[in-house]
Amino acid sequence: MCTEDYSEIIVHDCTYKTKLTTNYKNRKKWEAKNPNHIIVTLPGTIRKIEVEIGQKVEAGEELLILEAMKMLNKIVAPKSGTIKKINIEVDQAVPKDYIMIELED
Amino acid sequence: MSLKNNILDLRKRKEKAQLGGGEKAIQKQVAMGKLTARERILAIVDEDSFCEYDLFVEHQGREFGMDKKVLQGDGVVIGTGTIYGEPICIYAQDFTVAGGSLGLMHARKITKIMDHALKLRVPLIGINDSGGARIQEGVDSLAGYGEIFFRNTLASGVIPQLSVILGPCAGGAVYSPALTDFVFVVNNISKMFITGPGVIKSVLGEEISMEELGGAKVHSEINGNAHFYAETENECFEQIKKLVTFIPWSCDKKAKSFPAKPPKPEYKIEEVVPEDPTIPYDIRDCIKCIADDSDFFEIQKDFAGNIVIGFGRINGETIGFVANQPLVLAGVLDCDSSDKAARFIRFCDAFNIPILTLEDMPGYLPGVDQEHAGVIRHGAKVLYAYSEATVPKITVIIRKAYGGGYIAMNSRHLRADFMYALPTAEIAVMGPQGAANIIFRKEIAGAEDPEAMRVEKVQEYKDKFANPYVAASKGYIDSVIEPEEIRKVLIHSFEVSKGKVASMPKKKHGIPPF
């Protein structure tokens, strides 16, 4: 038996001493998504913002145009609500998972 | 012109063509730490065995001033040769000629040697070192890639296909290696990606080096695209040559037999495997207790280490080993290890290589990331691959065989030919702790001392079920054997399985959970 440092993982209530893989170490912890956050799924550049703070929007209403992968993508409200915060400007490049717009009920 | 002059003329032409992109370009190649295309081929094949074809092929580009350019051999070397006397077809892209870029004739040379390999039923080795499509040749260059991918697919399962990445292999070009059976990479030399760092930076604003994006380590550790990692080109060539000794020429043949050798005396299973099923050990030591000369040729060593795959020999015959690795992630099955095992099982089945499964695993890896990554769909590949395989397939349960893992790891129910278990085997629907917590939930909760009751009930479950005898009593295990007997039993079992006939229902093809 080697005496190296082992990590522990639990399967069916039993704890096993073991080493970990690179991918296991780098895995992302899951977090619940905030339904009020309009986040970037495809990185790109903001081309147009169609809403203002305080404006009421219906589900399916266009919020902005995001240019990504050579396409002008329409980003629509996933739910009805009021625009609480706008974190973007026209021509801004946005990375994946960036919160562009925040809604409130 | 006299015959002598003709010969001298030929020699001159050959010499010029064999210089590829010329002295300067060769110097650049060397400065990058790389060998030239011909040097690579000559390092892989037996001495004096290489025959080159299409040396005088010229490119067909007529646009953008290409008609005035001469590209020797159009940037790729093709030919046939032998490795330890066994025939192979080989091609190597020549980066010194227009960056090894792929145009119409370059692609035609590659598809010519691929067609040869398929017709002659011998392994194909492709050495990739190319800047990508030759943009000046437009759609002809795309057509070239398509013709290569199509042939890779046709040849899949007919002849072994090896891809060696010795330079850039970017954009669409990556799909030829991806369609082949084994991909070899070398540290600091191999670069493989769909979109390079430049595009990623301009589109996504993410800055990353070529090495971090698609270097040898990325493909061998993170995404599993590569099967063999080497520090130097020469180490890589040795890996290629060794692999070729384990595999047959084609699906019509069997791998070559070698004189049988006993395992090295220092490897003893009873000294390798700890009795306590929660204590890890290196399953590769177990394999070395079984394989001839304790020689195990591991594949995808640095990827999904929780399952170990590779070739060894038992009694001189090639065997594909698939083994859970308790040392890494307790040997669980997860998305990556399922993909790794399933593909290897299919390779073995396609090329008449019997499979030995060594089982010691607690189940599937729990976690949101696993469920969301599709562990259901990935895990199903293992079931599919084992069920479909008709080569002799034998399982030895070393310690834990719990739940879905018991079924997946080549169980009797997926038509294992022989199922063996060591006396340390525990074959049960789950580990004793989990099972006791469910079965005796009420007793444990209602007890004065729940902890003491839990310990008692876990022990009760262990005594009853954590052994191989329940499964053996139902005929799911053919024989419970002593560790010392393993090799003898396996030699016998593979020997009697040599004439195995098993067929699948008539169908065009199955639909594996890709």
Let me know if the fold of B3-246 is the same as that of B269-431+468-496.
Answer: yes
Element (H, E) at B287: helix B283-290
Distance (Å) from the alpha carbon of B504 to chain A's nearest alpha carbon: 35
pLDDT of residue A1: 45
CATH code, residues B269-431+468-496: 3.90.226.10
Of the candidates A13, A17, A22, the beta carbon closest to that of B279 is on: A17
Tens-digit pLDDT profile for residues B412-452: 999 999 999 999 999 998 888 888 889 999 999 999 999 99
**Strand A62-68's sheet: what is its strand order?**
A71-76, A62-68, A44-49, A93-94
Chain A residues whose beta carbon lies within 8 Å of the beta carbon of residue B366: 10-11
> Domain ranges in chain B?
3-246, 269-431+468-496, 432-465
What does residue A93 show for φ and ψ, rounded to 5 degrees? -85, 135
CB-closest option in A9, A15, A21 to B305: A21
pTM for the whole thing? 0.93
Query: One-letter amino acid identity for B27?
Result: Q
Long-range contacts of A22-29 (CB under 8 A, 24+ apart): A22/B221, A22/B222, A22/B302, A23/B222, A23/B304, A23/B336, A24/B329, A27/B367, A27/B369, A28/B369
The nearest CA of chain A is from the CA of B21 a distance in Å of 36
Q: Which of B41-45, B260-264, B446-450 has the lowest mean pLDDT?
A: B446-450
Chain A residue closest in CA terms to B285: A1
Asked if A11 and B332 come within 8 Å (Cβ–Cβ), the reply is yes
Structure tokens, A37: 């956050």
What would the mean pLDDT of B20-26 be, rounded to a whole number?
93
Residue B49: predicted pLDDT: 98
Q: Is A54 on the interface with B (CB under 8 A)?
A: no
Question: Within an 8 Å CB–CB cutoff, is residue A95 touching chain B?
Answer: yes
Rounded average pLDDT over B482-500? 97
Confidence of residue B91 (pLDDT cuts 50, 70, 90): very high
Token output for B305: 């280490």
Q: Which helix (H) or strand (E) holds B101?
A: none
pLDDT at B235: 98
Q: Which domain holds residue A45?
A: 37-104
- Cβ–Cβ below 8 Å for B330 and A9: yes
> Considering CB atoms only, which of A12, A24, A96 is closest to B362?
A12
Q: What element of type H or E holds B109? A: helix B104-120
Residue of A nearest to B221 (CA): A22
Task: Work out how many CB contacts closer than 8 A connect A with B.
Answer: 92
CATH superfamily, domain at B3-246: 2-enoyl-CoA Hydratase; Chain A, domain 1 (3.90.226.10)
> How far, CA to CA in Å, does B251 sit from each of B118, B157, B380, B470?
11, 7, 25, 39
Band (B121; pLDDT cuts 50, 70, 90): very high
Q: Is B424 helix (H, G, I), strand (E, B) or coil?
A: coil
Rounded distance between C-alpha atoms, residue A67 and residue B268, angstroms: 63
Q: Which of B305, B362, B364 sits opposite A16 (nearest CB)?
A: B362
Answer yes or no: do B304 and A95 touch at CB < 8 A. Answer: no
Instruction: Give the one of A9, A15, A19 whose C-beta lies nearest to B327's C-beta.
Output: A19
In whole angstroms, give the CA distance from residue B110 to residue B127: 11
Q: Given CB atoms, is A3 within the 8 Å cutoff of chain B? A: no
Residue of B195, B270, B275, B278 to mutate, interface with A, max A Cβ within 10 Å: B278
Task: Give the C-alpha distances (Å, rounded to integers) separating B19 from A50, B36, B149, B226, B362.
Answer: 62, 10, 29, 31, 58
Domain count, chain A: 1
Q: Do B363 and A11 touch (CB under 8 A)?
A: yes
The closest CB to that of A17, out of B278, B431, B435, belongs to B278
Residue A56 pLDDT greater than 80, yes or no? yes
The predicted-structure confidence for B180-204, as pLDDT tens digits, reads as follows: 999 999 999 999 999 889 888 877 7
Residue A12 is assigned to a structural domain of this protein: no
| Residue in the structure block whose two tokens are 């093809």 | B509
First-last CA distance in chain A: 59
Q: What is the pLDDT of residues A23-37, one digit of tens each?
A: 999 888 888 999 999
Contacts of A73 (CB under 8 A, 6+ apart): A42, A44, A65, A66, A67
* pLDDT mean over B269-290: 93
pLDDT, tens digit, for every residue of B211-228? 999 999 999 999 999 999
- And the tokens for B457? 């009930």
Question: Which sign does the torsion angle of CA A74, A77, A82, A85 carry?
Answer: negative
The count of other CB atoms within 10 Å of the CB of residue B285 is: 18
The Cα–Cα gap between B127 and B92 comes to 4
For residue A11, being part of any structural domain is answered with no
Q: Which of A10, A13, A26 best tests the B interface by mutation, with the highest count of B CBs <10 A?
A: A13
Sheet strands (E) in B293-392: 297-299, 307-314, 317-324, 355-361
| B44 close to B59: Cβ distance less than 8 angstroms | no
